[in-house]
Amino acid sequence: MDTPTLLNLAQNAVDVGNIRAACEFYEIALAQSPNNDEVLEAYAEILIHHAQDLERAKQMLRHAIALNPRVGYVKYLNLAQLTEAEEALGWYQQAHEIASEELGRCRKPKAKAALRETLGTISCAIAELYLTDLCFHDDAEAMAGEMVRRALAFNPRGVEPHQLHGSLLLSQGDVVAARAALHRAVDLTHTLSEAHQPPYESKIELARLLLQVSPSAAFDFLLELLQLGDNNPYVWFLLGEGARMRGRFEDAARLLRRARVMLVVSDGDPKAIAEVDDAIRILVEEMGGPEAAARVPDLDHPDPISLLQPTGAGEEGDAEEEGGLDEPVWESCDGDEG
């Protein structure tokens, strides 16, 4: 069989979930055409997302780049995601350069829109590097801000640029502007098609950020996320924290209780359980002590959402004119998905 046929057979195997067969076809194709960059890139994708052989994937991507360095940005993006700090930055910058060149040559409106969206995503990835791995650089915050501005220019209707903008503004203490950016990100999740929606985990992070500046809006958004999957304890935890921030203490008690039970039943991370316990202790103090907390009815109700207080009942508000609120204690989803 020739290489194109093998590639088609491998892709068909992937489409039906037969990863083992796909890898066998790729191995034959690779032995037959060891310097075919299409084989190298396609096989590397499988090794990254399904076979979990990241070192071999990196070797293949580097080989593909050496063979055809100026065509295709995807191999650079994949390699950037497998590396860290300065090395990752270099691969992202090369991906950005090649995608920009493609945009300059492109004449089809849909293809141009897709490339602009990609460039926005790459800009966000570079900004996040400056906020994390490269935060020790003297100009890290300025570079992050510049890349966020580029992301917004490339993709003004993307959720990710507005979400990252809000996160950056929060870190700078600009609560009012951060709130506006995060609200814009949430609004876009309500209008964009499914193909342009951010991942579920990214939406949870958006809710966490919004919770710091607008608990009411964050609570409503978390209820929407619950419709996408109700088996993530972190979502229940954030709902509990949102209820507590708004003075809905009985709701908060039930929601935090649900988060803790889910973690215990699923043998969750002990650190996550401890952090939920810390949130519960804060709630008990705000309620006036253990006796008040003990009077919460239906603490273990199977559907705490059905018992939520009506909007406005016992509400302390978002403090939207007074500044930011404390962020919730537990900061990570720990890989739990809905």
Q: Please tell me what DSSP assigns to residue 305.
A: G
User: Which of 21-35, 172-186, 209-223, 312-326 has the lowest average pLDDT?
Assistant: 312-326
Summarised one tens digit per residue, pLDDT across range 255-310 is 999 999 999 999 999 999 999 999 999 999 999 999 999 999 999 999 999 999 88
pTM as predicted: 0.88
1-69 topology per CATH: 1.25.40
Summarised one tens digit per residue, pLDDT across range 70-82 is 999 999 999 999 9
Give the per-residue pLDDT at 1: 87
With a cut of 50, say whether residue 338 has pLDDT above it: no
Give the per-residue pLDDT at 327: 60
Residue pair 200/228 in contact (Cβ under 8 Å)? The answer is yes
**Residue corresponding to tokens 């609560």:** 175
Helix-, strand-, coil-residue percentages of the chain, each rounded to 5 = 70, 0, 30
Q: Please tell me what DSSP assigns to residue 336.
A: -
Section 215-230 average pLDDT: 96
Section 324-338 average pLDDT: 49
With a cut of 70, say whether residue 332 has pLDDT above it: no
Give the per-residue pLDDT at 318: 53
Summarised one tens digit per residue, pLDDT across range 181-193 is 999 999 999 999 9
Section 37-44 average pLDDT: 96
Section 117-127 average pLDDT: 98
